[in-house]
Chain A
Amino acid sequence: MTRLAALLAAGLTAAVLVLSILTLVLTATGLMPLVGTPGATLRAFDAVRGDLLLAVRESLVIATSSTVLAGAIGMSVALVALASPGGSRLLAATTTAPVPVAHIVAAVSFALLLSDAGLANRLSGLDTASWPPLVAGPWPVASVATFAWKESAFVALVVTASLGPAVRDFSEVAALLGAGWRERVRYVLLPLALPALGAACAIVFLFTLGSYEVVWLLGQAYPEPLPVTAYRLFTSLDLQARPQAAAVALTTVGLAMAAAVASVGVLRRSGVSR
């Protein structure tokens, strides 16, 4: 019974992955046009080349800064929870707040928080003109903040779960041997947390790279990140835009695959995972 389920799951996953990527390749290269005769061409990539490079840069900037922030904040939660046994329960409860929040809802919340008429500006007392353009401005501040909020909870949960109760003992032994808080973090806690932290950060990076809702609602009009560019072309009335949408989607898939391979490589080489 379970073997059949495993086979079905593997078949379904493989079919979806292979068929969708294959169709993207065929569509982007003109071999599977919606209308007209098939013929191999790189015209779709050529047509979007300028926007594509800008979109790649925008997406990489957002994914990298979100990952760094989420990793740092998530790790801090784990460390603070370890250092304060009494208050850690309340902190753990608050940390789960972003879990049931869908990304589109998180984006709405941050828009209502950070836009020029948002809660933050109401509290600051500035007028709308002096408030910095955090939403839809030249820097993707609101997008990065939203991802950092949502994913820092994820990192915190993963790292806390991986550290386990034994870590507190190790930390206490180190303290008995004369290590201060800083040394305990540097030589005991961080090395023990690194495998989980690394893996969680890799997942956050890959997720933010391909996530649509947040950057669509909170990002600027131009340049757009990859998912927004692809979906705009995909829903365009012009059918010629379909191959271009496939080209952008395919670029995102390629970037995600490269990032996944690289992160597995880094995690392995640093001896963090085997």
Chain B
Amino acid sequence: MELIQEISMILINSVLAQNFVIIRFIALCSFVGMTTSMENSIGMGGAVTFVTVMASVISYALHYFILVPFHLEYLQTIAFILTIAVFVQLVELYLKKAVPSLYKAMGIYLPLIATNCMILAVTLLNITEHYSLFIAVIFSIGASLGYTLALILLAGIRTKMRYTTIPKFLQGYPIIFITASFMAIAFLGLQGIAR
């Protein structure tokens, strides 16, 4: 029972109350760049979910089986970035072979996942929060679900925005950041449901 409670708490926390994009303002580049259409943001969310979960498992193992025994915890950042980059390359190779249609749809954004700040943030937080491997996986799933949710929400708003008249000095990125900040205010209301 306690485990279920902890899992649901972590999920709610990472998806809504501590949403990586909207509350913590991490991974804003792809948040702004990939929300031009709904399909784009869903595809990006899927790819990021996959990479985040796999990267957090591998970086977890890397940290506890290699870095801790050698007392090299300060190598975390560089070692994790290395892991993420390699993993994104693997995903790219795999997609190219197995699902060429998705590979084409992702285009240039697939290699750019390697520089997605959220994945590094999740892997680092797994360690600093002293999560167990299982909870770390749950946390990374929640974080990437929250990321996908944020992307889909903004993509929806941007679709509506095309039919509205925006003052010239706000056109383009300014209005997107203003929208994002309003979304952040809305999400602040969810703070109370998390412990």
Partners in one complex: no
Interface residues, chain B, with chain A CB atoms under 8 Å away: none
Interface residues of A (CB under 8 A from B): none
